[in-house]
Structure 1
Amino acid sequence: MSTVNEMRAVLFDRYGPPDVLYVGTLPKPVPGPGEVLVRVHAGSVNGGDLHGRAGEVRLVTDVNPRGWPKPMGLDFAGEVAEVGPGATGPKAGDRVWGVLGRTFGSFAEYVVVRPRAIALTPSGLGHVEAAALPVGTVAITALRDKGGLRPGERLLVRGAAGGVGHIAVQLGRAYGAHVTALTGAGTLDFVRGLGAHEAFDYAATDPSELGRFDVVFDTVGTDQRVFHRLLAPGGRMVTIAFDLRRPVSSLAYIAASARRGRSRVRFFSGKPSHRLLADLARHVEKGELRPAVDRVFPLDEVAAAHRALEAGGVRGKIVVHVS
């Protein structure tokens, strides 16, 4: 039981499997100048959470000056509880959503953020639904800003049923592209229902049979050389992942692709912002994008939420209800 100056939060004391996660207490944060305090109602489990918990991205997470225990969670939906001195924009009581970026800690009752890292939650969405969507800012950056996807072009989405992929399928349709989805056998109908013109089982399909694409969006990270070959003349490949089994060779291939100029592999990690979140909200409010919540777990069962995502076959997002 937390006190008025404490909050419940998901923590872990060592890298390892989902069972290292537990709910403990931390001091309730206080917003400083230019900051806002958000009461978190829900957040979703991302691939980055799994990698962070397992220690696969410790070059980033070990920079955390707090050391152990480490917090967990990247995105969130909730309401503004308090506005710090000089903070402009959001007001107490506003329903907001956001992403913490490269730091973790959204699986907690409160987070402190800058106003530029949040935006108003789209009208008509509850907190649980809203928590499934902030990662969509990555899909906007990949397709619109990095890939330059245009109406009439052919788009391939790898990992099309996942957290980022299911949003990319919907945005691809909104941008006027012909969308081909690569996913698991059990999620083919799901991605077709999101708007994919074609859907293929990745385990039963030779990539060479898929044809050529103007934009390949990769959320998986493996076999990048194979999918890079699927680009049509002038095509662009964008990835948000690399092969964690062979990180050196995978990143080396991405770096070496720079010699190919426009057809290089564009690798990036998301930089969420108020502008991107507001763009995402407009797609929701225009009916071009809808959340897909696979399952909802209470905060005390966050380890089960991680196991569910690791098991695969997830349709959209797994959400953790915080408060």
Structure 2
Amino acid sequence: MKAVQITSFGTADVLRVNEVDRPVPGSGEVLVSVEASSVNGHDVIVRAGELKLVSGRRFPIGVGLDFAGVVAATGAGVEAYRVGDRVWGMVHPRQRHSVAGAAEYVVVSADRISHAPADLSSVEAASLVVAGATALIALRDSVRLVSGEKVLVRGAAGGVGTAAVQLAHAMGGQVTALARDRHAKILTDLGADEVLDYGSTTSDRIGPFDVIVDTVGTELHCYRGRLAKGGRMVTVGLSPSAIAAIAASSVHGSRRIRTFSANPETPVLRDVADRVTSGALRPVIDSVYPLADIAAAHRAFERGGVVGKHVVTVPRGSV
């Protein structure tokens, strides 16, 4: 079968579509015939070698954090899924994988998938696994958004940003989206009450906000200063400067900057699926690439200016 792997750290040029053995599910595991995966920041920083402590230095390393597809086989003890079920899920981001989501088949623990929303194609589903779960955890669990609160979503046009705008709107937030001006219409359609052009808007001219969801990971101390009394801020865009800002905020003042590692298991994936079914969340896809062109998808992600997600389609698995 085909699987995207890296055998050294570097630019998108190190990505290879290799022939590997088809994995076999063990006890409590599920074999998924993958139909689509998406490009996430985690994939890019692992490929670049910025998470060596997690990924290790033993190659090959599989690529692709998320996936959507069909159950091809189940291991002993798995009762919630049957062959042919449409599912979506994630590989564990803190474990090393020689084969991950960007492959014809992937084996995962049954507690890392759920049934995919029936009304979504696999391409649409793949665009929402990480984005939807991350946005939901950020708003519901990290900052605990309350209806009526003022919310700023920074980096609102990206995968997590578009999901956060939708979910914050559905939860009753008054949503301000910070993004490129040319993305204003789609963000308004997704539920933003106001869209600000990040190129001409400085942090000192906006707010205060009850909640700030940051997907960028820079200038966090400036945006933290735009929190109202009792305000909460969460960032999912980690960088060295972000880590420093998070640490400083935990020491100085009450408006701590929160962060987390999105590592959703079945209950969260089910919750995201329910929100898709209810109409609160829909996919936003920037572009779709075949598996053979995954390097181009990574380059497009790194260039930025995206609206939603870059999705990679995977050919039907071979025996």
TM-score (norm 1): 0.93
What is the CA deviation profile of residues 278-315 of structure 1, one whole-angstrom value per residue up to 9, with x for unaligned ones?
10011111111110111110000000111111111111
Shift of 1:260: 5.0
Query: Structure 2: any 5+ residue segments left out of the alignment?
Result: none
1:32 to 26, 33, 38: 26
Partner of residue 235 from structure 2, selected from 236, 239, 242: 239
Which residue of structure 1 lines up, in the alignment, with residue 211 of structure 2? 215
Please list the CA deviations of residues 153-191 of structure 1 after superposition, one character each: whole Å capped at 9, or x if unmatched.
011111111111110000000100001111123322221
Structure 1 residues 262 and 111: alpha-carbon distance in aligned structure 2, compared to 1, 3 A threshold: farther
Residue of structure 1 in register with 2:63 after alignment = 72
Of residues 74, 85, 89 in structure 2, which corresponds to 1:94? 85
Give how far 1:9 is off: 0.4
Q: Which residue of 1 aligns with 2:35?
A: 41
2: CA distance, partners of 1:35 / 1:261: 45
Give the aligned residue type for 1:49.
D
* Paired residue secondary structure (2:47): helix
- Please list every run of 5 or more consecutive structure 1 residues that lacks an aligned counterpart in the other structure: 1-6
- Distance of aligned partners of 1:232 and 1:94 in 2 relative to their CA distance in 1, 3 Å threshold: same
Aligned AA for 2:111? R
1:188 & 1:73 partners in 2: Cα distance?
A: 30
Q: Aligned partner of 2:8: which letter?
A: R
- After superposition, what is the alpha-carbon deviation per residue over 1:112-171, rounded to whole angstroms, capped at 9, x for unaligned? 111111000111111111110011111111001010101000111111111111100000
Mark the CA change 1:220 to 1:302 in structure 2 (over 3 Å): closer, same or farther: same
User: Is residue 21 from structure 1 mapped to residue 15 from structure 2 by the alignment?
Assistant: yes
Structure 1, residues 192-230: CA drift from partner, whole Å, max 9, x if none? 221111111112111111111111111110001001101
Q: Identify which range, 299-308 or 192-201, moves more after superposition.
A: 192-201
Mapping for residues 1-323 of structure 1, pairs under 5 Å: 7-62=1-56, 67-102=58-93, 103=95, 105-135=100-130, 136-243=132-239, 247=240, 249-259=241-251, 263-323=255-315
Tell me the percent identity: 50
Instruction: Give the ranges of 4+ consecutive aligned residues of structure 1 lying more than 4 Å apart after TM superposition.
Output: none
Q: Tell me, in whole angstroms, the C-alpha distance in 2 between the residues paired with 1:87 and 1:40.
A: 19
Question: How far, CA to CA, are the matches of 2:223 and 2:105 in structure 1?
Answer: 41
What is the CA deviation profile of residues 231-288 of structure 1, one whole-angstrom value per residue up to 9, with x for unaligned ones? 1000001111223xxx1x5323312322357521111110211101110011111111
Aligned residue pair count? 310
3-state SS, counterpart of residue 242 of structure 1: coil
Deviation at 1:91, TM superposition (A): 1.1
Indicate the SS of the match to 1:276: helix
| CA positional deviation for 1:11 | 1.1
Distance apart, 1:88 and its partner CA: 2.4
Q: Give the counterpart letter for 1:26 in structure 2.
A: V
Q: Which moved more, 1:141-150 or 1:85-94?
A: 85-94
Displacement, 1:317?
0.5
RMSD: 1.3
